Amino acid sequence: MLQHLITQDDSLRMVPTDRNELAAAVGRLREELRASPEETDPARTRALTRWIGLGEMCLGHHEDARTFLRQSLDLATAIGSTGAVVATGLNLADAHRYAGDVQAADALYRSALNTARSRHPELLDFALQHTGKHLMERGDLAEARSHLQEALELRIAKGNTELVESTQAALDRVELLLGGAAAAAPRA
């Protein structure tokens, strides 16, 4: 819905390609959600709340992002879509991470990663990528590298060059940070 309006910045966080256009698109999605009758398809409501939450996160509106993504996650759980639970759980974890709530982000990433490993291996590369970027930001570079290397292997096997490039960019950033950390370490 909004993919074309979202990119990544130098720190690999999602940001708008055009802030005004993203804000307008989020406004249109909010209006569609408000106009939907109560008996609307829960899967459509889940998709709308997820994309509104993602848009709000990219715009830096963290409280709104968490509210909509929590609603989307609750709907995914209620309709029994564990794949949507994994994807939306990762988005909600990102929203917490962007807002600086590391503890909530940790729990959500861990849950999504465990569910992907056990029930949705097709989503494992996404869970590893998001978790790896979280670990990188948190300074756990060795663990971040491990997660991102596993994600890269899975993405190479999928044959999706865009996903491979995204993971390689994250791995390159980890290697850069590891190099900086090694250079800053005291020598004996």
Give ∠ CA 127-131-136 in degrees, rounded to 5: 150
Residues of the chain with pLDDT under 70: 38, 181-188
Q: What is the pLDDT of residue 95?
A: 98
The answer, as to whether pTM is greater than 0.85, is yes
Nearest CA among 105, 154, 106, 103 for reference residue 129: 154
Q: What is the pLDDT of residue 183?
A: 60
Question: What's CA 118's distance to the chain center, in Å?
Answer: 19
Cβ–Cβ under 8 Å, residues 120 and 86: yes
Residue 89 corresponds to which tokens in the numbers above?
A: 């759980």
Q: What is the pLDDT of residue 185?
A: 59
Q: What is the pLDDT of residue 38?
A: 66
Residue 91 corresponds to which tokens in the numbers above?
A: 């988005």
Q: What is the pLDDT of residue 143?
A: 97
Cβ–Cβ under 8 Å, residues 90 and 69: no
